[in-house]
Structures are given as C-alpha cells and as structure tokens.
Amino acid sequence: MADFHIAYWTAGENAAGFLGRQLQLQGLSWNPYELGAAVDCDVFILLSPVWCNNHFISCDNTWKKYFELNHPDVRFISSGFAELTHKNYIDLLNLPPDFSVFFTNAQRAGEEWEAANTGGLDMSQKLLNFFEGHGHDSIRQIFSPIYRILRIISDEIGQGTPYEELYSELITPNHLPQKWRIFQNRFSNYYPFFACLPFYPDFQQIKLLADSIDPYFESKCQDETLWKELTIEYKIREIHTLLSNAERYV
C-alpha cells in the first residue's frame, strides 16, 4: 500500500470525523491543515461545500488553482455529499472501496482539469468579480489610482515638493480620501467570503494594513505627520503586492 501523507481542511468537523474514521479503517491517517501553513502532504482533501459567511461555498476551483501554482505534485481532492463522479472527488455517501487506489488514480494539481462542482456558491466567480467585476468599479480599477497617487506623493516628497502643494495639486483634485473609502467598502463587502480560501491570511494582512492607514485618509490626507508615522507608502506597496498575489488565483 502506498504511503500517503494526507492533509485536509474543513470549516466544520462533522463530515471530517466520518471520513477520517473511514481512512483509519484502511490504515491511513490525515492531519488538519491550518490556512497559511506550509503544505507538506501528497494528498489534500477539501470538505466541500464550505459553510462560510452564511453561505455554502464551493471554493474547490480556487483551491485547485492554488495547488496548481504552488504545489503541482499534490493530489487535490474535494469531498462532500454531492452525488458526483470525478477522479478527484470523494462522495461521502459512496466511498471508494480502496482509498490508496483512489489517491493513486487521482490527478495531480499541476495537471489540466477542473475541480468538481459541489453545488455551493462559486468562489472562483466571486473572486473574479472582486478583481475584475463591477466594470470600472472593480477592486483593480479602484485601487490602481490610489496606489499610483500615493507613489507619486512619495516620489515628490523625495524630490522636496512641499506637502501642501501635493495636497492641493494631487490629493484634492483626485478625491483621494473618497477613493480610499470606496476601496475599503468594496474590500469589506467581500472580505468575509475569503475566509474559505487557502490564501486568506494574505487578505487578513491586507485588512490589517488597510485599517492601520485609515486615520491618514480620515484626516482627509491633510496631515503630513500621519503620512510619515503610518508609513503609508510602505503599507500601500504591501497591500499592492498582496492583492497581486491573490489575483494570480483568479
């Protein structure tokens, strides 16, 4: 029998307990995975759909993409009560007779295939809407000018331009505080849904960074001391990097 290192993630323990016992009966064991932790397994099982933000969510394709890009050799498997036949899906009401054979035959994440649709709200579509949806109000369209303006401010401060001039020539005409408020609102609307994603810690980090620089925008960006004290440029670059990382999984 092949020796598989198996990890799993679930938002609730009930189904996981059942599947865990079935694996144990065949001499296999698995370990719970903590979002953001290093992946050290051959087989990863996601209990799906996931109960998150008062919705049943199917985030299987986004997890698959995450493994495809970061851990292509892992066999990513969904499991749930949906009646589906798929090389990478375990129907809990119709278990495979031999898990080792099932895992051996499952496709690796790096191969080209789509995850099973377990019937919940499609998280890949939700993520796409977050980054690209809403036309010119997508998070990309909202964040882009904020990032650009703040970097221009940073460049100008470096060149000795008085902050008052930046306030009147750049911040005011471009409605920077209002733009930030729109960004925060849009991010907050989506944020609870991201709790079912493997890169949720990146979104947590974005939230921390964004909240920490809120006072600068609440002061209408008039306070140069807040610009310095809150290290706005560093934090906005961090947010940009984290958003770009997350966008890879769209």
Partner 1 sequence: MFSRNYKVLIIDDDPEFHQQIRFAFRRNFEFEGALDVEQMDEKLKSGAIFDMILLDLILDKNSDVKVGFDLIPRLKKAHPYTPVVVVTNDPHVYNGLEAIKRGASDFCIKANMTRTIGQAPSPKY
- Kindly tell me which residue out of 155, 211, 214, 218 binds partner 1, with binding defined by CB under 8 A: 155
- Kindly tell me which residue out of 141, 185, 225, 245 binds partner 1, with binding defined by CB under 8 A: 141
Q: Tell me, residue by residue from 164 to 193, as one string, x for binding to partner 1 by CB under 8 A and - for no binding.
A: -----xx--xx-------------------
Position 157, amino acid: I
Q: What is the smallest separation between the CB atom of 224 and partner 1, expressed in angstroms?
A: 18
Q: What is the smallest separation between the CB atom of 27 and partner 1, expressed in angstroms?
A: 46
From the number of C-beta atoms within 10 Å of its C-beta (0-12, 13-18, 19+), residue 4 rates as middle
- Kindly tell me which residue out of 147, 167, 190, 200 binds partner 1, with binding defined by CB under 8 A: 147
- Kindly tell me which residue out of 5, 108, 186, 240 binds partner 1, with binding defined by CB under 8 A: 240
Q: Tell me, residue by residue from 114 to 133, as one string, x for binding to partner 1 by CB under 8 A and - for no binding.
A: ------------------x-
157 lies in the binding site for partner 1 (CB under 8 A): no
- Contact between 103 and 75 (Cβ < 8 Å): yes
Q: What is the smallest separation between the CB atom of 146 and partner 1, expressed in angstroms?
A: 9
Which CB sits closer to partner 1, 42 or 156? Answer: 156
The two tokens of residue 250 are 């769209």
Q: What is the smallest separation between the CB atom of 54 and partner 1, expressed in angstroms?
A: 31
Q: Which stretch, 80-88, 99-107, 109-117, 240-248, contacts partner 1 (CB under 8 A)?
A: 240-248
Alpha carbon 122 to its chain's center: 14
CA distance 31 to 68: 21
Binding residues for partner 1, rule CB under 8 A, total: 22
Helix axes 139-158, 176-190, angle to 10 degrees: 140
CA distance 3 to 11: 26
Three-state DSSP class for residue 68: helix
The two tokens of residue 61 are 């394709």
CA distance 77 to 45: 5
5 lies in the binding site for partner 1 (CB under 8 A): no
∠ CA(15), CA(86), CA(32), 5° rounding?
35
Position 224, amino acid: E
Q: Where does this chain bind partner 1 (CB under 8 A)? A: 132, 135-136, 140-141, 143-145, 147-149, 151-152, 155-156, 169-170, 173-174, 240, 244, 247
